[in-house]
Chain A
Amino acid sequence: MNAPKEAGLAERASALQGMGESRLRKEDARFIQGRGNYVDDIRMPGMLHMDIVRSPLAHARIKRINKEQALAIPGVHAVLTAEDLKPLKLHWMPTLAGDVQAVLADEKVHFQMQEVAIVIADDRYIAADAVEAVEVEYEDLPVVIDPYAALAPDAPVLREDLAGKTEGAHGRREHPNHIFTWEAGDAAATEAAFAAAAVTVKARIHYPRVHPCPLETCGCVASFDPVRGELTTYLTSQAPHVVRTVVSLLSGIPESKVRIVSPDIGGGFGNKVGIYPGYVCAIVASIVLGRPVKWIEDRVENISTTAFARDYHMDGEIAATADGRILGLRTHVIADHGAFDACADPTKFPAGLFHICSGSYDIAAAYCQVKGVYTNKAPGGVAYRCSFRVTEAVYLVERMVDILAQKLGLDKAEIRRRNFIRKEQFPYTSPFGFEYDSGDYHTALDKVLAAVDYPALRAEQAATRANPASPTLMGIGLVSFTEVVGAGPSKMCDILGVGMFDSCEIRVHPTGSAIARMGTITQGQGHQTTYAQIIATELGIPSEVIQVEEGDTSTAPYGLGTYGSRSTPVAGAAIALAARKIHAKARKIAAHLLEVGENDLDWEIDRFKVKGDDSRFKTMQDISWAAYHQAPPGLEPGLEAVHYYDPPNFTFPFGIYLCVVDIDRATGETKVRRFLALDDCGTRINPMIIEGQIHGGLTEGFAVAMGQQMPFDAQGNLLGNTLMDYFLPTAVETPKWETDHTVTPSPHHPLGAKGVAESPHVGSIPTFTAAVVDAFAHLGVDNMTMPHNAYRVWQQLRDCGAAL
C-alpha cells in the first residue's frame, strides 16, 4: 500500500543529492576545462616578480654579498638581503613549532638552497638573470647530516643564534643541536612489563625523509595598497586564516586590513601548511615597493626547501608472552627536523600525535620518547597526507608486530587477532591516554582475509619458497591501522594559541538556494561537493543550488584549515550543527505558517508536515521565502547561522590492508600483484569521493614506500631534487587497487563521520614494506628500509644469496 509513497520519498531524497550519494564532483567541470584559478593564474596591474638567491652550500658563513651587477640589469627594482630586513625586524620569523627561522640567511646558511637574497624585477626572466648576477662569497663550515652525529659532544654548533639558550619551546635543551625531548606513556610500568616478559624484540625502524610534492608548487601574489593600508595576498595555503593572523602579528598591519585568499589549490598534502620565507619576502617587497609582487617556486625549490616530511629514526621494542600477547611497547625516536624547527604540529605536541603508536592493539603499558635534532637540511617535518606523525607511529608499531610474529613463528594475521582491542572494549583508553571512540577490528580483519582467501595465498607462498628455480619471491603484507584525526579538542590542541576548532556559516536565500562558507580549504578533497551534500540532507535543499566557498579570509569564518584529515571531523560537524540551527528556525517558521505547534510537525526529507496529515506541509523553499517576508512575530527575519565546532575528542578511522607482491629475483623489481584496502571512516558522505581519496592515498603511499627518497651526500647536497629522480608514479606504474569498507560511526561526531583521505597513505606504506619484507622472511630478514626500489631490493637479494 505504501509503495508509491515510499517511491515518492526516495525520489525526493535522491533529488537532493545528499549524504550517501555518489554525487559527481562539482569542482571537476572547471578543472578538466582548464578553467581553474590557481595562484600563478593571478595577474595584477603593475605586478612585479620575485626570485630567490639560494645557497649552494649546506653550512657556510656569508662573507659578502654584492648586489651591484644585479641592480644594474634593466628591469630590476630591488635586491634585498637579511641586512635590508633587519631594520624591519623581519630577517627572522617565528615558526609554528616555537622556534625561529631565518627569512633571509643572517650571517650564515644552514642548509643547501636556503634563501639568501631576493630579487624583484619586471618579469620572471629578468628576475632569474638577476639571481645569477648576485655575488655571494661563502666560507665553508663543517656539515652535519646525520642526526646522531649532530648530538655528539664535539659536533659543530649549527644554530649559533641560539647560543646559551638552554630552554627551548618544549623544555630543556641538552646540546646545542638538541631541540626538545618529548615523552608520553608510563616509563616505569613499561619497564616492569619488559622485565617480566618472556619475549622481547627490538629493532631500529627508519622512516626516511620524503617530500609531499604536490603538483602545484608553493607561491603567492602579495599586494599592499599604500593608500588604503590594506594587504591582500593570494597564497597557496592549507590554512589561510592562520596565515592572516601570523602576517598581522609580523607586519603590524591590523588583522582586519589583511586579506589572505587561497584560490584553487593544486594539492597540499601538508606541504602548504607552513609559512615560508618566500611568502614573507614577497609581502615585504610589496610593502616596500607599493606594487603587487608574485613569487612562484619551481619544482627544484619545492622539493629542496619547502616542508619535507618524516625523517624519524625509531628504536622500537615490544615485550610479549610466549604465545604472542603483547605486554609492553617502548620507542625512542631521533627526529631530524633540519636547520630550523618548523614542524606544523599542535603547539603542545612537538612530535605530533606520535603517541598513537600503540596502534590497534590492547597493550597494557607503553612509553615513547622523541628527541628533536637540528641538522644541515631544510626545515619542515609536516604531516604528509596524514595526521601529525601518525604515519610514523603506525609504521613503527606495524613493523614491530611483524618482527615479533617472525620471532615467535606466528602467522601475521593471527598475532593481530590475538592483540586487537576487542569491539566491546570501546570506548578504549590507550596506554598513552587517547580515548578511541569506536572500532571493530576483528570483523574488518576477517572480511579482508576471506576476500583474498588468505590460507590459499600462504599455501602458494610456501610452494614458491620451496622451488629454488622460482623467478620470483612472493610476499604478503598485512597491516591494521588506527588513525587519530580531526585535531582537535581545544583543551589539547592549538596552533599559536588559537584552538583547533573549525567553522561554518550558512545563508539560505529567499528563493531557497544557499551559500555556505567554511574555515577549511579544499586542495582536491572535493569540499564543494561533499559539504553541499551534508547541508542538502540536513536542510532539504538540493545540493546543486548550494554554493560552497572557502579560502577567502575576508568572507569565510575563522578556521584552522585543511590538513590532518580534519575537514570532515571538524568542519563537517560545524556544517551539520550550523544547518541544525537553521533547521530549528525553519521549524518555527513552518509552525507559524501552518498554524500548529512546533511539536506537531514532522520533518520529511525537504519539508515539515503536520503530523498525520500529508496534505499540510511547507517545503524548505516555502519556508525560505517566508523567512524574508513573514517571519513569525518575535523572530528575526532571514535564515542563516554560524557554528564554531570545538570537537569533544579526535576521531579514530581504521582499516585493514593486504598486499601481495612478486619480487623479480634478477632485477629486484617488485610487482604489486594485489592490494586490498578495507577502510572504516564511519558514516560515508560521498562513496565515489571516498573511493577517489583512497585511490589517491594508496598511490601516494605506493610512491613513498617504493620510490620516494631525499638522499643527501656528506656535503649536504640533496641528490635527486627533480621529478626525474623524485618518484611520482604514473598510471603505468600504479597498481590496481581494490577497496572495501565497514561502517562504525563515530559516537561523538554529529554525522558519525571520521575522515578518510589520509588513511590510505598511513595504512598502505607499512603494508608495502610488510609485503616486501615478508618475501624475504624465510631467509631470515625481518625488516628493510624504504624505499623498496629495484636497486635496494636487489641488494637485499644479493646479500641473501637469492639474486638470480
Chain B
Amino acid sequence: MIPPEFDYHAPRSVAEAIHLLGELGPDAKLLAGGHSLLPMMKLRFAQPTHLIDLNRIDDLRGIHEEGDQLVIGAMTVENDLIDSPLLRARLPLLPEVARQIADPQVRNRGTIGGDIVHGDPGNDHPAIALALDASLVLAGPGGERTLPADGFFLGTYMTQMAEDEILVRIRVPAFAPRTGYAYHKLKRKTGDWATAAAAVVLRLDGGRVSHVRIALTNVAPMALRAHAAEALLLGQALDAARIDQAAAAVMAICAPADDLRGDAEYKTAMAGCMFRRALAQAAARCA
C-alpha cells in the first residue's frame, strides 16, 4: 500500500495548472480530493510520475447563481454541497446526493468535479449531472469550452475531457417550481459504492409528466440516462402499468459487471427497484 515515487506540484491558478499539464504530459495526473486516485496509486494500479494538486486554486471552489443557473466550482467538496443554502433552496437534489456519498471525512476532501471526471461508473455525480441537465466547463490551453453532461461519459475512466484540460465549473439550471426529485442508492454499507442507484427529476402538469430525467449509477461501464424510460413517461399519468413499463425500460439498458455486490441479474433488478422508489418519492415531492 505504498505508491511509487512521484513529483508533486501545487499550482495556485488554473492557468498555471494547465501550463503544468501541458509541460508534464500524459505522465501527470490531476489531484482533486484524491479518494479515488490515491488508493489506486497505493495499490500501484495507477503510477503517475507527477501529481498536480488543484486544492490550492481558490477560483475552483464555491457555488453562486447566474440568473437561473447555478455555477459550482469543480473543486467544491461534498460537505460544501451539503451545507450550501443556495443549493438547498434551488437545487436540493445535490445536497441530498452528497449526503449519500462515502462518509463525513471523505466528504471533507472529495470534490464534485473529481467525482465527475474520474469516469468511474460507481461515482454518484455523473448520473446526477445527467439528471440535472448539467453542463461541464473545461479549460485547456486554447481556452474554455462547455459540454453537456449528456454524452460526456464514454466508458469506465473515459470521458470527453482531453488530456490537457481541466474541469473548472459545473453549470446547472436551477429547479423550476414544483420539481420533484430523488436519488435512491442501494449500498452494502456506509462508504460503499452503489450496488445500483437511480436519480429521478420530475415535474407534473395536471397529473401528467411534463418533465422527467432518469439516470442510473453503477449498472453499466458509465452512468446512464434512461432515455427510453423517460419517453415512456413523458406526457403520461403515473399509473402502475406505465411505471412497470418504465421500470422494464430502465432495466433493459443495464449492463452491470458481476462483483461481490451482486451479479448482473441482481444489479439489474435493483436498478429497477431504485428507479421505482426514486420515482415514487419524486412524484410525492412534485406537489
Contacts and interface: CB of A to CB of B under 8 A. Distances in A.
A730 B191 contact: yes
Given A129-B4, A725-B260, A730-B103, A667 B188 contact: no
A298 B192 contact: no
Given A129-B4, A129-B5, A791 B261 contact: yes
B211 to A, nearest CB: 27
Contacts of A720: 260
Contacts of A712: none
Contacts of A667: 186, 270, 273
A69 interface: no
Interface in A131-162: 132
A528 B73 CA distance: 52
B82 to A, nearest CB: 16
B95 to A, nearest CB: 18
Given A666-B273, A667-B270, A791-B266, A711 B103 contact: no
A707 B186 contact: no
A31 interface: no
A300 B4 CA distance: 18
A446 interface: no
Interface residues of A, number: 31
Interface in A773-804: 789-791, 794-795, 803
A727 interface: yes
Interface of B is mostly: loop
A515 interface: no
B189 A719 contact: no
Contact of A791 (B2, B5, B195): B195
Interface in B160-203: 186, 188-192, 195
Given A129-B5, A790-B195, A733 B189 contact: yes
Contacts of B263: 791
Contacts of A729: 189
A727 B273 contact: no
B1 interface: yes
Nearest to A669: B186
A125 interface: yes
B268 to A, nearest CB: 12
Contacts of A128: 2, 4
Contacts of B273: 666-667
Interface in A259-316: 298-300
Given A725-B260, A791-B266, A794-B266, A125 B188 contact: no
B262 interface: yes
A268 B74 CA distance: 43
Interface in A660-688: 666-669
Contact of A730 (B1, B2, B189, B262): B189
A707 B262 contact: no
Contacts of B257: none
B260 A711 contact: yes
A795 B44 contact: no
B6 to A, nearest CB: 11
Given A667-B273, A720-B260, A795 B266 contact: yes
Interface in A687-707: 707
Given A132-B44, A729-B189, A733-B189, A791 B4 contact: no
Interface of B: 1-2, 4-5, 44, 103, 186, 188-192, 195, 260-263, 266, 269-270, 273
Given A707-B188, A707-B189, 15 more contacts: A124-B2, A127-B2, A132-B4, A299-B1, A667-B186, A667-B273, A668-B266, A724-B192, A725-B260, A730-B189, A732-B189, A789-B188, A790-B262, A791-B266, A803-B269
12 contacts: A128-B2, A128-B4, A132-B44, A300-B1, A669-B186, A707-B189, A709-B260, A730-B103, A730-B190, A732-B190, A790-B186, A791-B266
Interface of A: 124-125, 127-129, 132, 298-300, 666-669, 707, 709, 711, 719-720, 724-725, 727, 729-730, 732-733, 789-791, 794-795, 803
